[in-house]
Amino acid sequence: MSDAERGSWTGAVRERALAALPPEKLLPDTQPAYMSSWIYVFGVLSLVSLVLIIASGVILSLQGPDWWHTSGIGHFFNSFHLWSVELFFFFMVIHLWGKYWMAAWRGGRSRTWMTGAVAFLVAIPCALTGYVSQQNFDSQWISTQAKDALNAAGIGSFWNLMNFGQMYTYHVLLLPLAVVALVAAHVLLVRKHGIVPPFHRSQTVSPAHAGAATNGSPAAHNGAPLPAGVPGADPMPSPALDPGIVVAAGPDTGPVP
C-alpha cells in the first residue's frame, strides 16, 4: 500500500484511477490500424445523438408541455428531441450489430460489451417514458397500450404508465442518469481495454504477448499464426463480417496471415 493510499481516501482513489486509466490510455494519440472501421463511427454518432438528446431535452423541460405543443420553437425542439432519439437508436443498433459479429467481448472486454448492451436495453424504457410524457392523445394511446403490456407481463404493479408525474420523473431524471452512467462506463472501458482486434489477429497472439493483448496495443498482434487444429486457432475467421480486416494493411499490424 502506497503512502497516498494510507494517507487518505482521495489519494487512494487517485492512485487507483491512475493505475486503471493512465493519461496515455485515457487520451491516446495512437490507435491500432483496425480502428479504421465505419462501425466505430456509428458508436461515435450514437454519442453525438445522446448529447443532442440531452441538450434538447433540457430545453423542453425548462419550458414545459404547453410551450412544446403550442409555439413554433417548441414544436421545433420537440421534433429535434424525437429525431435525435430515432437517430440514437438507429446508430446504436448498427454499432451493436457490428460489435456482435466482431465478438467484441473477446480478450477481457466482457464488461465493455455488457455496459454497451445494457445501455441499449435501458434506453428503451427511457424512450418509452418519453413517448408517454408528451401530454397529447398520442401519449394517452401509447400509455394505455403499454400499461396492458406491462400488466400482461406481470410487472404492472411496479409502474403506472398513465401516471404522468411518475413517467416524467423516470424520463427526465432516473433513466437518463442510468443511460449516461452506462455510456460513460462503456467509453472508459473502451479506453482501458482498447478495441477488439480482428479474429485472425486475436487468435495468433504469442504467449509472450498474451497479457498485452487486452490493451489494444498493436505490438500485441504480431505473433505467429497458430496452425489449424491447435487450441486457440480461429477455426472459421469471417473477414466479410470483420471490419478490422479492411484495414489490416496498416504498417503497424503486419501482413494478414
Partner 1 sequence: MSTAAIFNLNHPAHAVQWHFFFMSVSNVIVLGLMLIVFAVAILAPFPGHGRPRHGGAKS
Task: Identify the residue whose cell numbers are 416524467.
Answer: 168
Q: Which of 90, 105, 159, 168 binds partner 1 (CB under 8 A)?
A: 90
Which residue has 489494444 as its cell numbers?
A: 216
Stretch that binds partner 1, among 24-32, 59-67, 192-200, 222-230 (CB under 8 A): 24-32
User: 110: number of CA atoms within 13 Å, CB side?
Assistant: 1
* Shortest spacing between CB 197 and partner 1, in angstroms: 14
243 binds partner 1 (CB under 8 A): yes
Residue among 13, 20, 22, 38 that touches partner 1 (CB under 8 A): 38
- Alpha-carbon 174 to chain mean position: 18
* End-to-end CA gap in the chain: 45
Select from 167, 94, 180, 113 the least CA-distant residue to 135.
Answer: 167
43 vs 107 by CB, closer to partner 1: 43
When the beta carbons of 185 and 241 are compared against partner 1, the nearer one is 241
- Residue 60 C-alpha from the chain's centroid: 25
State which residue, 39 or 172, has the beta carbon closest to partner 1.
39
Select the residue interacting with partner 1 from 21, 25, 36, 163 (CB under 8 A): 36
Contact pattern from residue 184 through residue 223 relative to partner 1, giving x for each residue in contact according to CB under 8 A and a dash for the rest: ----------------------------------------
d(CA 20, CA 188): 10
C-alpha cell at 247: 484495414
Which one, of 11, 47, 94, lies nearest residue 188 by Cα?
A: 47
Summarize as ranges the residues that interact with partner 1 (CB under 8 A). 29-33, 35-39, 41-42, 86, 90, 93-94, 97-98, 240-241, 243, 246-247, 249-252
